[in-house]
Amino acid sequence: METTAAATAAERRRPLFTTEELGGRAVYRVQAATVAAGILLVLYYRATRVPAAGEGRAAWLGMAAAELWFAVYWVIAQSVRWRPFRRRTFRDRLAERYEQNLPGVDIFVCTADPQSEPPSLVISTILSVMAYNYPSEKISVYLSDDGGSILTFYALWEASIFAKKWLPFCKRYNIEPRSPAAYFSESKVHHNLCIPKEWALIKNLYEEMRERIDTATMSGKIPEEMKLKHKGFDEWNSDFTLKNHQPIVQILIDGKNRNAIDDDRNVLPTLVYVAREKRPQYHHNFKAGALNALIRVSSVISDSPVILNVDCDMYSNNSDSIRDALCFFLDEEMGQKIGFVQYPQIFNNMTQNDIYGNSFNVSYHVEMCGLDSVGGCLYIGTGCFHRREILCGRIFSKDYKENWNRGIKERGKENINEIEEKATSLVTCTYEHRTQWGNDIGVKYGFPAEDIITGLAIHCRGWESAFINPKRAAFLGLAPSTLAQNILQHKRWSEGNLTIFLSKYCSFLFGHGKIKLQLQMGYCICGLWAANSLPTLYYVTLYGLYEALLSGDTLKGWWNGQRMWMVKSITSYLYGFIDTIRKCVGMSKMSFEVTAKVSGHDEAKRYEQEILEFGSSSPEYVIIATVALLNFVCLVGGLSQIMAGVWNMPWNVFLPQAILCGMIVFINMPIYEAMFLRKDNGRIPTAVTLASIGFVMLAFLTTTAAVGEGEYGRQGGVQIPFQAATVAAGKLLVLYYRATHMPAGGEGRAAWVGMEAAEVMYTVGRPVVCPVRRRTFKDRLAERLVTFVRYNCLSSNWILVHA
């Protein structure tokens, strides 16, 4: 008896997860020391070699300031690179100890727009998280629809029917991934694992369901006969609008009802649809408000102690993700202090050399692991498991004991209608008034990056977090597939992080004395993305090639990432910086833009629509393409003119300019490829290519007309034509922007027209001119005018000029 007890105690002492330090750190520390020495030498050089006033002193000091900023940011970045950790779990030990007493898990999925986030995409994510390798009766899935769309509700109802066949199929053959859209797109890999007849049946059922959903989405309405199949459709009446409607809570599958079973007579997970009340006079706090509403609704339906939230495009790619996360929470030695477990956000619609730099390999292999080593990784808003109690504001205490059995007990005498009515009262517009929701309770309000600040608040309450990056990705999603979407997403991220940095929640202020200094510095890495735009505009630097290659990126993929980092630094992050400052001084209000998530044939349809609407909605594409093309034409044209002897410029003057122009051309090679060579969805629309070519031609025609050729050679050679062409292109692009972004009447239109008129006057009234240098030939004058007395040099010059 004592032997058995001792063996049990020994088994419980075996950890459910282990922590391993990443290798190669000694080499990195040596490299970091050399970089630090180089930085100090550069700063010393700048400080001791300041030019005298008027000799480029301002430019020198600007470079010194930029280098000092990058030096400070580099030091901040070292806080997460010095000693990164890697976590590894033991699911077999978890099963041995807790298989019969596993806690319940509530899964939150948020969507906001059936056009940007198609319902067929959303339900694939829903079905994937319903099919976890976990007791179904302990899973509850909640869909928050901030779009309040009957189309999304209809899609979820279709998914509840299809789940009765899909879940048994997944568990019978242990398939991966368990998103039907992803699984059947990889059919060549998985077909041989299943009975062909059954596989074909499930595939046909899924495709028929998806066709019905897509047809309804395209038409904007669902068949009338479908509305009779569930009482929830009655919620959408003639007075229902996107921004003005009553709250809706509908339980489509009640997992605690013994009749809610699949085709194998196994219990189905609970499935709930939630649409918060929306009224024009009330602010709804975007995604943070949706998550807080789900916390309250789930507390009266399932009340599970663990909550997972995922974006609607991040389907489950690993059916054991719940068990991996529970290895952290349920570990007897170290699990008590872990408040949340974060998985990486990985995308499956990228090529190996992603042209838009959407790979976060370095962040997940180095930075997040480094944050994990100093107290906790960031909460990134998706793919994260939380304790319910920490989202409700609980402060860490060594004496606190989690009740892992909460929510599992059988429901009382309340029927499903009473529960829906009770839950509906928790998602009204006025419920949170004069409460701590959005402040001390739930996800934080008032910031675009609600996830980052919520994670910071959890860490400051004494909890730690864990980051796990398993070999098989836990979640896969969709990266922005166009440049405009990419810039929009990073603009929103950088703006939100900078807003936090400039607020009272700055990690150095809010976290002082509560979290380690290294973790405070780690939060500032993303907090200063937007601020980096200013020195980046002044001084360009490259970094991270070694880490990128070590993390799995290719050389070309790293190069594309650096190129996109430059683009985002002077667009997304700069816009985020400006918007944040405007909000800080009260010039604008916070807004939230949903990043479009479309896959498969939906992406092609959306792409065609973007092309049709392109000319009036995306001048940024035209500007980028024009600048890229202008540099190419300048380089080729300049070289040909020099070779032909038309432009009289020494090579030692022309060469530095040509090298700079050539570097810009090389960086923009993917843009030229997208303009002239690519045939897929990554191709820049023909309308944009033609518009950019037109602007370049106009720029050079304007320059040629104003400059002329001249016999005696230009002062400055190709420098002035290059500059003149870029100025002309810039003026044309400004006028194009003014013409295509005319405000509506009463929204500053008069001021806009006045500015446009002034800019037209400046363009017409100040032509580009090119100075010339005159040189005389007095010997020729003497030969031709023998009767003239040779005057002095000044007289000869006067005669030559006036002859």
- Catalytic residue, from 313, 354, 451, 579: name it: 451
* 451 in active site: yes
Q: pLDDT tens-digit profile of 67-95? A: 899 999 999 999 888 888 899 999 999 99
Average pLDDT over residues 447-458: 92
Cis peptide before 118 (omega within 30 of 0): no
What does the alpha-carbon distance between residue 766 and residue 639 come to, in Å, rounded to a whole number? 28
CB 354 within 8 A of CB 479: yes
* Range 740-763 average pLDDT: 70
Mean pLDDT of the 593-602 span: 56
Query: Is the residue at 400 inside a domain?
Result: yes
Q: Is residue 195 part of a domain?
A: yes
**Binding-site residue set for UDP-alpha-D-glucose:** 117, 146
- Neighbouring C-beta atoms of residue 165, cutoff 10 Å: 17
Is there a catalytic annotation at residue 399? no
Q: How many domains, the chain? A: 2
Mean pLDDT of 612-634: 60
Within 10 A of 522 (CB to CB), how many other CB atoms are there? 29
Known binding positions for Mn(2+): 287, 311
The residue type found at 74 is W
User: Where in the sequence is the domain holding 683, given as residue range(s)?
Assistant: 605-705+723-732
Computed over every residue of the chain, the mean pLDDT equals 81
| Top-confidence range, 195-199, 439-443, 528-532, 751-755 | 439-443
**Nearest one of 722, 723, 709, 687 to 772, comparing CA atoms:** 709
- The string of pLDDT tens digits covering residues 543-587 is 455 556 767 778 778 777 777 777 777 678 877 888 888 888 877
Q: Are 183 and 190 in contact (CB under 8 A)?
A: yes
Task: Write the pLDDT tens digit of every residue in 647-702.
Answer: 555 555 556 666 666 766 777 777 777 778 877 777 778 777 887 787 777 766 66
Query: Is residue 769's pLDDT more than 80?
Result: no
pLDDT confidence of residue 302: 93
Is position 536 within any domain? Answer: no
Q: Which of 28, 25, 82, 75 is nearest to 372 (CA)?
A: 82
Average pLDDT, integer, range 164-183: 94
Beta strand 139-145 with 85-89 is unpaired
| 740 domain residue, yes or no | no
Look at 318 and 785; give whichever has higher pLDDT. 318
**Residue 82, domain member (yes or no):** no
Task: Examine residue 44 and state whether it is found in any structural domain, yes or no.
Answer: no
Calpha distance 292→439 (Å, rounded)? 11
Domain boundary among 479, 508, 533: 479
343 pLDDT higher than 70: yes
Q: In Å, what is the CA distance from 212 to each residue of 111, 207, 216, 253?
A: 20, 9, 6, 21
Residue 166: the pLDDT is 96
Answer whether residue 326 shows pLDDT above 80. yes
Active-site residue, from 145, 146, 354, 553: 146
pLDDT at 319: 96
Question: Which pair of structure tokens corresponds to residue 672?
Answer: 């030229």
- Residue 722, pLDDT score: 53
CA 390 distance to own-chain centroid: 26
Binding-site positions = 117, 146, 287, 311
Specify the CATH number for the domain of residue 241. Answer: 3.90.550.10
Residue 239 domain-assigned (yes or no): yes
* 615 and 472 inside one domain: no
Report yes or no: 770 and 706 within 8 Å, Cβ to Cβ: yes
Is 346 inside a domain boundary?
yes
